[in-house]
């Protein structure tokens, strides 16, 4: 199909297929892609509102069996700098989050070889008993898959038990590129494409909302990225459980075993736009200021993004690769306002908070 016909399809709110997405990526100019994505954003969200959430990343352990080649954060089992957070440390971090107006924690960790499922249940129960108001967005699909393998339980049983203990929703981490040829090379010890999708499918069936992510710009092709988007869109057709899509390029830096050059902002913005266009069934697209910095993230608001993500009171994983963007709540609101939008705080499910 010709580019003009594809553009007409998009303007007529028709879905595009992978071949058409490839033509769009290769042939549409930068500003046309952005304009198309922006049109869709305003079709779905007519108000000039850009949302964000006040939350904190808490990494409960950096000990990990997986050894992903792009990861600068993990320590192998037995490493002297390996840690598992104590309950007191957890509580202190949550208290600080609440004091800053936070409503959620993003609780993630490495694939620890020895911690049983009861450890995670106990951690969740402790958090919820002590801080019933905090939303726990935790355990990406590779972690859930790892817990299931260690415990010998089905994914469904693991998720039911974690939800019972206090888990509220699941982050879409560990997706990288949902093509096994790529996963085999960059994260051979992590769950495969079908496993990632299955955790999300079961979570959605149990009523747990999740996000979806993509980490690109390493060894994949644009066709692989489109295949990734296609898999996310197909699962969303089936379950409707994804609230948002977040993509960011691989951050090469100290300690990463992969060394491909960092994707440039133009590529990032094109990817935000393509995601908005292709994922016609996912309502929210986030701008990644943590990896792109405030200016590029601000421009992403004109390329289809309607959300500024999280305040990231604490962020360790990207920081470990040497990326050091930091923004206060006031700075996030100023950036959103300067772009001509009204900043609004939200919850994980994107309902707006009234009392700011
Ligand atoms: S990305 Fe996650 S699973 Fe991979 S090595 Fe780092 S902590 Fe482990």
Q: Where are the domains of the chain?
A: 28-345
Token match 């939200």: residue? Answer: 346
Measuring CA to CA, which residue among 89, 33, 67 is closest to residue 276?
33
The CB of 111 under 6 Å from ligand 1? The reply is yes
Q: What is the mean pLDDT of residues 157-162?
A: 98
Q: Output the pLDDT for position 108.
A: 97
The CB of 112 under 6 Å from ligand 1? The reply is no
Q: Output the pLDDT for position 257.
A: 72
The sheet with strand 104-108 has its strands ordered as: 55-59, 104-108, 135-138, 169-170, 209-216, 242-249, 284-285
Is residue 217 predicted with pLDDT exceeding 70?
yes
The CB of 242 under 6 Å from ligand 1? The reply is no
Residue nearest atom 4 of ligand 1, based on CA coordinates = 68
**Distance from the alpha carbon of residue 162 to the mean position of ligand 1, in angstroms:** 21
Measuring CA to CA, which residue among 186, 163, 160 is closest to residue 175?
186
Residue nearest atom 1 of ligand 1, based on CA coordinates = 71
The CB of 64 under 6 Å from ligand 1? The reply is yes
Under 8 Å between Cβ of 244 and 211: yes
Q: Output the pLDDT for position 285.
A: 98
Instruction: Give the tens place of pLDDT for each residue, 14-54.
Output: 999 999 999 999 999 999 999 999 999 999 999 999 999 99
Sign, CA dihedral 74-230-31-344, equals: negative
Atom of ligand 1 at shortest range from CA of 190: 3
Reported pTM: 0.95
The CB of 67 under 6 Å from ligand 1? The reply is yes
The CB of 253 under 6 Å from ligand 1? The reply is no
The 3-class SS string of the chain reads CCHHHHHHHHHCCCCCCHHHHHHHHHHCCHHHHHHHHHHHHHHHCCCCEEEEECEEEEECECECCCCCCCCCCCECCCCCCCCECCHHHHHHHHHHHHHCCCCEEEEECCCCCCCCHHHHHHHHHHHHHHCCCCEEEECCHHHHHHHHHHHCCCHHHHHHHHHHHCCCEECCCCCCCCCHHHHHHHCCCCCCHHHHHHHHHHHHHCCCEEEEEEEECCCCCHHHHHHHHHHHHHHHHHHCCEEEEEEEECCCCCCCCCCCCCCCHHHHHHHHHHHHHHCCCCCEEECCHHHHHHHHHHHHCCCCCCEEEECCCCCCHHHHCCCCCCCCHHHHHHHHHHCCCEEEEECCCCCECCCC
Is residue 356 predicted with pLDDT exceeding 60?
no
Task: Supply 341's token pair.
Answer: 């939008």
Instruction: Give the tens place of pLDDT for each residue, 107-140.
Output: 999 999 999 999 999 999 999 999 999 999 999 9
Q: Which of 71, 83, 172, 256 to mutate to test the pocket of ligand 1 (most atoms within 8 A of CB)?
A: 71
Atom of ligand 1 at shortest range from CA of 140: 2
Instruction: Give the tens place of pLDDT for each residue, 238-279.
Output: 999 999 999 999 988 766 677 788 889 999 999 999 999 999
At residue 315 the predicted structure's pLDDT band, cuts being 50, 70 and 90, is low
The CB of 172 under 6 Å from ligand 1? The reply is no
Under 8 Å between Cβ of 155 and 198: yes
Is residue 355 predicted with pLDDT exceeding 70?
no
| Other Cβ atoms closer than 10 A to 244 | 23
The CB of 66 under 6 Å from ligand 1? The reply is yes
Measuring CA to CA, which residue among 71, 61, 149 is closest to residue 107?
61
The CB of 173 under 6 Å from ligand 1? The reply is no
Percent of the chain whose pLDDT exceeds 90: 87
For the chain, the average pLDDT equals 94
At residue 311 the predicted structure's pLDDT band, cuts being 50, 70 and 90, is confident
The CB of 196 under 6 Å from ligand 1? The reply is no
Is residue 306 predicted with pLDDT exceeding 70?
yes
Atom of ligand 1 at shortest range from CA of 110: 7
Under 8 Å between Cβ of 208 and 177: no
CATH topology of domain 28-345: TIM Barrel (3.20.20)
At residue 324 the predicted structure's pLDDT band, cuts being 50, 70 and 90, is low
**Distance from the alpha carbon of residue 241 to the mean position of ligand 1, in angstroms:** 24
């Amino acid at each position: 199909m010709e580019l003009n016909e594809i553009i007409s399809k998009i303007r007529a709110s028709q879905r595009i297929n992978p071949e058409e997405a490839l033509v769009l990526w290769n042939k549409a100019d930068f500003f046309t892609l952005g304009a198309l994505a922006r049109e869709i954003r305003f079709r779905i969200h007519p108000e000039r509102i850009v949302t964000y959430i006040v939350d904190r990343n808490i990494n409960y352990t950096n000990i990990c069996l997986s050894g992903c080649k792009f990861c600068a954060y993990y320590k192998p089992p037995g490493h002297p700098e390996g840690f598992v957070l104590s309950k007191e440390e957890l509580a202190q971090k949550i208290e600080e989050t609440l004091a800053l107006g936070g409503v959620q924690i993003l609780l993630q960790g490495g694939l620890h070889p020895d911690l049983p499922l009861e450890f995670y249940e106990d951690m969740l129960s402790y958090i919820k008993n002590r801080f019933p108001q905090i939303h726990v967005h935790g355990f990406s699909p590779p972690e859930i898959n790892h817990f299931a393998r260690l415990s010998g339980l089905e994914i469904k049983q693991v998720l039911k038990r974690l939800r019972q203990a206090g888990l509220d929703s699941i982050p879409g981490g560990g997706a990288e590129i949902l093509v096994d040829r790529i996963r085999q090379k960059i994260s051979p010890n992590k769950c495969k494409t079908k496993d990632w999708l299955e955790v999300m499918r079961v979570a959605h069936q149990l009523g747990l909302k999740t996000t979806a992510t993509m980490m690109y710009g390493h060894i994949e092709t644009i066709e692989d990225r489109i295949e990734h988007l296609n898999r996310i869109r197909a699962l969303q057709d089936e379950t409707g459980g994804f609230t948002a899509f977040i993509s960011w390029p691989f951050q090469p830096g100290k300690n990463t075993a992969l060394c491909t050059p960092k994707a440039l902002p133009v590529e990032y913005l094109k990817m935000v736009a393509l995601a908005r266009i292709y994922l016609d069934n996912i309502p929210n697209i986030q701008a990644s200021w943590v990896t792109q910095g405030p200016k590029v993230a601000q421009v992403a608001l004109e390329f289809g993004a309607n959300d500024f993500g999280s305040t990231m009171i604490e962020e360790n994983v990207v920081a470990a690769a040497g990326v050091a963007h930091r923004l206060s709540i006031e700075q996030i609101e100023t950036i959103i306002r300067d772009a001509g939008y009204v900043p609004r705080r939200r919850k994980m499910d994107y309902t707006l908070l009234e009392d700011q």
